[in-house]
Amino acid sequence: MKKKSRLPVEDYIDGVLKGDRMVLSRAITLVESSLPSDQMLAEKVMEGILPYSGKSIRIGITGVPGVGKSTFIENFGKILVERGHQLAVLAIDPSSQKSGGSILGDKTRMEALSSDKRAYIRPSPAGAALGGVSARTREAMLLCEAAGFDVVLIETVGVGQSETAVKGMVDFFLLLMLAGAGDELQGIKKGIIEMCDALIINKADGSNVEAAKRAKREYANALHLFPAKENGWIPQVKTCSAIEKSGLEEIWTMIDDFRDKMTKNGFLESNRQEQRVNWLQEHIRYLMESSFFHHSQVKKRMEELLPGIKSGKFSAIAKARELFDLFLKNRGND
């Protein structure tokens, strides 16, 4: 299939800064591309828009499948746009590990919000990236900020402990939970609980209201056992019903209060500074790994070694060193 033509760097930058949705989408597609030529172009685009980014509140929303993330985001998002905010939603869909295909169904699940001109929803495949987020979610977030969106929601896949990687790219980390699913504290990941800034028990409606109240008390008691956060924020536990739109206003008030306090005490900026350094280190690791595995001589030698590795004839550790030394010796000859 023929690759869609790319725009000049200036056209991407100008279009994004003007809030052109089509150019914004094309810019995100560009940064998501794994083609070397696209990556070089994407780097120039990101350099151009960077001074205009950073003015949003970045909110990560995670939770197990079935907790109602999409319904929550749609109705929460409606409240935000009615308040005058420009909202961007980066919805990360699960990808097939075999085909690489992605469901990309969030636009259909958020039909009302996706048709609102004050909101922009961008579904992206998670691919092989860890953490329940796309490998280029950070760049997409910065592009949305440069396009004028002042609230960015990142909806993650919600599968496994690596989900906590989203914490490293947002200001506020919101964990959605369910009540009435057995022991409320059984099986939840301690790491996620420690990292969240708020724990929201969704689906607190109908016959589930009392169960949600009990879960709220149990989670609140559990949070008191964790060490105090360095930013001085005390994680809050709240209940809501996304489908009935109850409790959503209070959640935004809480997030707004968080932003105000973290801005005043300097933590918001210091946290972002630390995140930028982490992003630098992660991208260096990505570039090194990509260079290593795409090196022709490394690929050839690895194919020769694989049968012996699989059979147990060769030591994986020793052969990893051999491949790495081969890469270092020939890294300029590919």
Q: What is the pLDDT along the chain (334 residues), one digit of tens a residue?
A: 345 689 999 999 999 999 999 999 999 999 988 888 998 999 999 999 999 999 999 999 988 778 899 899 999 999 999 999 999 999 875 543 343 434 444 455 677 888 888 999 998 765 544 443 446 889 999 999 999 999 999 988 665 544 656 788 899 999 998 886 544 444 455 667 778 899 999 999 999 999 999 989 988 888 888 888 889 999 999 999 999 999 999 999 999 999 999 999 999 999 999 999 988 988 888 889 989 999 999 999 999 999 999 999 999 999 999 999 999 999 888 7
pLDDT tens digits along 217-235: 988 888 888 888 889 999 9
Domain spanning 1-51: CATH 3.90.550.10: no
CATH of the domain spanning 53-264: 3.40.50.300
What residues contact residue 200 under an 8 Å CB cut-off, 6+ apart? Answer: 72, 174, 175, 176, 177, 237, 238, 239, 240, 247, 251
Give CA–CA dist 321/312, Å, rounded: 16
b/e sequence 258-278, b meaning 16+ C-beta within 10 Å: bbeebeeeebbeebeeebeee
In sequence order, which ranges of the chain are alpha helices (DSSP H)?
Answer: 9-17, 21-32, 36-49, 69-82, 106-109, 111-114, 137-146, 190-195, 209-223, 248-264, 267-294, 296-311, 316-330
User: For the chain, how far is it from start to end, CA to CA, in angstroms?
Assistant: 27
User: For the whole model, what pTM was predicted?
Assistant: 0.87
Sheet holding 87-93, edge to edge: 119-125, 87-93, 151-155, 57-62, 172-177, 198-201, 236-239
- What ranges do the domains of the chain cover? 1-51, 53-264, 280-330
CB distance 301 to 326 below 8 Å:
yes
User: What residue has token string 């979610």?
Assistant: 137
Structure letter (DSSP) for residue 95:
B
Same fold, 1-51 and 53-264: no
The type of residue at 119 is A
DSSP codes, 232-268: ----EEEE-BTTTTBSHHHHHHHHHHHHHHHHHTTHH
